[in-house]
Structure 1
Amino acid sequence: MSDEEYDLIIVGGGPGGMTAAIYAGRAELKTLLIEKGSFGGQITDSLDVENFPGSPHLSGQALMDRFKEHVTQSDSVSLLTTRVSGIEAAANHRQIVHTRRRGDYTARAVILDVGAKPRQLGIPGEAEFSGNGVSYCATCDAEFFRNQHVFVLGAGNQAIENAILLTKCASKVSVAVMHDEGILDCNEVDRREAMANNKIEFIWNSTLASINGEDSVTSVTVRNILTGQEHDVDATGVFSFVGMVPQTDFLPDTLGKDVHGYIKVNRNQATNVAGVYAVGDCTDTPLRQVVTASGNGAVAEVNVERYLKETAQLEKIMADTSGNEAVMFYSPYDDESVKRLEHIEALLTPRYKVNLDDITSQSLLYHQLNIGSNFAVALYQQGHLKQVVDLTQDSAESKLSPVHQ
């Protein structure tokens, strides 16, 4: 294990992870950004990103190059290329990040930006011809199918955008769509463009029953999902865009995920594991775009800063075996508790060092102690919790008197 301890380790260098790294650099957090391959994620496959504010008509690779350049401007952020094999919680609010070839690393917090990969349908021939006619990236492989007939599976934004892209090389692009005629799941701009493109043929209410060939793809078998009828069509390529699968299999079962494997996060991008956050396509977000992933990264890093402040405060309280500490929990939106803060603090100050904890921004200890009130105080003596007093109760102040301590 590396002797170095990081404030933050970011696993994955997509737009969310790199944005988090930029924010971490500005906060001067000692940060390690680990990426298993090339930085940028799936967006690097896009030739034209039209909806990232301030950067119209940049390629995905060019946009991500700008992100990475921004990341490297910070002296507190280090980059490492290796594959992460797992993470586990350790003592004292630490996380251990395991890698396959570069050892283990310790951090006070972790942000996961592990992304997603193209979903495979399991069609006969799909796995067999992967890389030999079956592709999941038109930007990467369109050139190999110049003046040839190819099929596209899918009806969403990614499928239709790539079908349009493929017409620049292929002689014909057939799109197998399971919906009724005219119904696509993409945005209206791409729908109109695809419908008007004379190189694109839509085959409605259909899917592929098999992908055929010997050394490479030579034909596909098209199945009508309404009638069950099948027929073969000559084609040399199949591009599949039927959704994504989150790359979360290597993460511990204790990390909350939905039935599809996407990581569950709250509005702070926090997972159910304290100190672990997740951003981008691997999360249970309703929209997976560069701009939303970037926003996720900013939100996650800001909340990491709050978490680190809280854990440092907790460690200080637990380490103080010679004195008394009080942590007063309050909400700035509760006028009554705000009015009483100064008075309660005055009652405690002669015997306790008082720490204020705004539960709307700092909630780690608040949740650990399972405090139900939005105005309470936890009293520690020699690093040990003595009692928690609900300050909304009428008898609260009497419990804080020296007689009751």
Structure 2
Amino acid sequence: MSEVYDLLIVGAGPGGLAAGIYGSRAKLKSAILDKNAEPGGQASTTDEMENYPGFYKGTTGPGIMKEFADHAKAFGTEFLRGTVDEVDFSGPIKKVHTQQGDTYESKVVILSPGATPRKINVKGEAELRGKGVSYCATCDADFFVDLDVVVVGNGDAAIEEAMYLTKFAETVTIIVIHEEGNLDCNKASAEKAMKNPKLKWVWNSTVEEIAGDELVEKVVLKNINTGELSDLETNGVFVFIGTEPHTDFLKGKVELDDRGYLVANDMMETNVPGVYAVGDARAKYLRQVVTAAADGAIAASAAEKYLSELETLQNDVLDVSKEKPVILAFWAPQVEESIDSIAIVDKVVEEKDGAVGLVKLDTYRAKKTATQYKVSEIPTIVLFKDGKDVGRIEGAKNITPDAVENILKESVEV
């Protein structure tokens, strides 16, 4: 059993690495757990990268991922090796178990397990990946200016990416398994695609092989009606038949959508307090290195505030309330009446000459604590004794000197 981390990040893709940078820089004890010896996730399989901001002259996926990792290490992020097969998010301390038999504990877990494009699993696909075989038009279209490419797939993503490719390529040929005119994409996209002069169509067909010497030179197509094989010369093959998030180990532990992607809000929070989701395994619009890095930065920053709230609640409220009653006052600077109410509470507590504690929380900065204690009206005061909330007063009109005195007498006999 390891010591308890502040921040344990599962997955060393760009989202996880960015979270490590931001977490460690915020002086959180942070670690990244990944199954691979080299960090980077899918980004590390990209030979050339031209669309990451600041690298217009180009860089490599492995190169920029090494810079990410070195950056995280420089701030003190610890790197751990292991394949996660079980998690326990039920308590305040999260537990992550690996196939290798290790268990790691952390106050916060950031999930960055990644996703991989679905493969067509034909001869030549793996060997020519990054050498003409691609799964991302946004990443690689610029390499095929005035060349001929093939798109495999006919769903929304495939047709949208194919139309995007027409801005660069000379021709884009879409290989469709269905009868002529029958596409899986939405009707509006289908109609638009059919009118695009740069798009060509091969119907009732699948790709049997991708061939080439060093670079893609052709695909071998099979007509599913006749079984006939034919060659189609091309410079590139773009495969868009969906992606697969690596979230099997999270089923039943955190909310997933119907495709298995992690569901998170704009602060990267999942439905489990203290668990965040970033990167390609999160349900999102665009899966790129830059968006994964942004996810990681947001998650680590949100986690820092979450941990700060927990620390304040535990140290200044729950622990202190074991010695004397503590009033936790929820207010907001933009709610003027809450300022007056807090002044009333302040005065009553001051008259108790140290027998009662007072902690004031701005609900905008302490949303988690406000949610935890079901604060629906500002101002609200909650009284704690022996680590438990034992009474409350809600609303400015109800927070009077007599009401505060009464709740203290009734609840803790002060």
Under TM normalisation by the shorter chain, which class is it? 0.7 to 0.9
Contact kept, 8 Å, 1:114 with 1:247, in 2: the verdict is yes
Using the size of structure 2 for normalisation, the TM-score is 0.77
Alignment-mate amino acid for residue 376 of structure 1: T
Judged with a 3 Å threshold, the aligned counterparts in structure 2 of structure 1 residues 219 and 187 are, in CA distance, closer, same or farther, namely: closer
Give, in angstroms, the shift of residue 229 of structure 1.
Answer: 8.0
| 2:373 paired with 1:369 | yes
Give, in angstroms, the shift of residue 302 of structure 1.
Answer: 1.1
| 2:137 paired with 1:157 | yes
| 2:401 paired with 1:400 | no
Give, in angstroms, the shift of residue 330 of structure 1.
Answer: 2.1
Contact kept, 8 Å, 2:328 with 2:359, in 1: the verdict is yes
Give, in angstroms, the shift of residue 284 of structure 1.
Answer: 1.5
Give, in angstroms, the shift of residue 47 of structure 1.
Answer: 3.3
Matches of 1:160 and 1:230 in 2, distance apart? Answer: 32
Alignment-mate amino acid for residue 359 of structure 1: T
Structure-2 residue corresponding to 1:86: 86
Judged with a 3 Å threshold, the aligned counterparts in structure 2 of structure 1 residues 230 and 378 are, in CA distance, closer, same or farther, namely: farther
Identity of aligned residues (%): 27
| 2:161 paired with 1:186 | yes
Structure-1 residue corresponding to 2:294: 295
Alignment-mate amino acid for residue 141 of structure 2: E
Alignment-mate amino acid for residue 73 of structure 2: T
Give, in angstroms, the shift of residue 196 of structure 1.
Answer: 5.8
Matches of 2:267 and 2:297 in 1, distance apart? Answer: 10
How big is each residue's C-alpha offset from its partner over 1:76-129, in whole Å with a ceiling of 9 and x where there is no partner?
Answer: x210121111221254x1100111115101101110111111125xxxxx55x4
Contact kept, 8 Å, 2:341 with 2:396, in 1: the verdict is no
Give, in angstroms, the shift of residue 235 of structure 1.
Answer: 7.0
Judged with a 3 Å threshold, the aligned counterparts in structure 2 of structure 1 residues 97 and 24 are, in CA distance, closer, same or farther, namely: same
How big is each residue's C-alpha offset from its partner over 1:111-167, in whole Å with a ceiling of 9 and x where there is no partner?
Answer: 0111111125xxxxx55x4xx43439721x65xxxxxxxxx798x6269739839x7
Structure-2 residue corresponding to 1:138: 129
Give, in angstroms, the shift of residue 331 of structure 1.
Answer: 2.6
Give, in angstroms, the shift of residue 361 of structure 1.
Answer: 2.5
Alignment-mate amino acid for residue 54 of structure 1: G
| 2:391 paired with 1:387 | yes
Using the size of structure 1 for normalisation, the TM-score is 0.79
SS in 1 for 2:71: helix
Judged with a 3 Å threshold, the aligned counterparts in structure 2 of structure 1 residues 333 and 267 are, in CA distance, closer, same or farther, namely: farther
Equivalent of 2:363, from 354, 359, 379? 359
Matches of 1:398 and 1:208 in 2, distance apart? Answer: 81
Matches of 1:163 and 1:206 in 2, distance apart? Answer: 26
Bigger shift: 38-47 or 271-280?
Answer: 38-47
Matches of 2:129 and 2:248 in 1, distance apart? Answer: 26
Give, in angstroms, the shift of residue 310 of structure 1.
Answer: 1.8
Structure-1 residue corresponding to 2:343: 342
Contact kept, 8 Å, 2:344 with 2:401, in 1: the verdict is no
**Number of positions where the alignment pairs a residue of Structure 1 with one of Structure 2:** 369
CA root-mean-square deviation = 3.6
Matches of 1:137 and 1:110 in 2, distance apart? Answer: 36
SS in 2 for 1:286: coil
Alignment-mate amino acid for residue 403 of structure 2: K
Contact kept, 8 Å, 2:85 with 2:97, in 1: the verdict is yes
| 2:151 paired with 1:175 | yes
Give, in angstroms, the shift of residue 239 of structure 1.
Answer: 6.2
Contact kept, 8 Å, 1:280 with 1:293, in 2: the verdict is yes
Contact kept, 8 Å, 1:391 with 1:397, in 2: the verdict is no
Structure-2 residue corresponding to 1:123: none
Alignment-mate amino acid for residue 325 of structure 1: V
Gaps of at least 5 residues in structure 2 are 176-197, 211-217
Structure-1 residue corresponding to 2:63: 62
How big is each residue's C-alpha offset from its partner over 1:185-234, in whole Å with a ceiling of 9 and x where there is no partner?
Answer: 23977422212699x99642646446379xxx9943246xxxx7875324
Give, in angstroms, the shift of residue 395 of structure 1.
Answer: 5.6
Give, in angstroms, the shift of residue 335 of structure 1.
Answer: 3.0
Matches of 1:13 and 1:7 in 2, distance apart? Answer: 17
SS in 1 for 2:250: coil
Give, in angstroms, the shift of residue 314 of structure 1.
Answer: 2.9
Structure-1 residue corresponding to 2:221: 220
| 2:201 paired with 1:204 | yes
Judged with a 3 Å threshold, the aligned counterparts in structure 2 of structure 1 residues 207 and 178 are, in CA distance, closer, same or farther, namely: farther
Give, in angstroms, the shift of residue 269 of structure 1.
Answer: 0.8
Alignment-mate amino acid for residue 84 of structure 2: V
SS in 2 for 1:161: helix
Bigger shift: 101-110 or 370-379?
Answer: 370-379
Judged with a 3 Å threshold, the aligned counterparts in structure 2 of structure 1 residues 196 and 119 are, in CA distance, closer, same or farther, namely: closer
Matches of 1:179 and 1:383 in 2, distance apart? Answer: 55
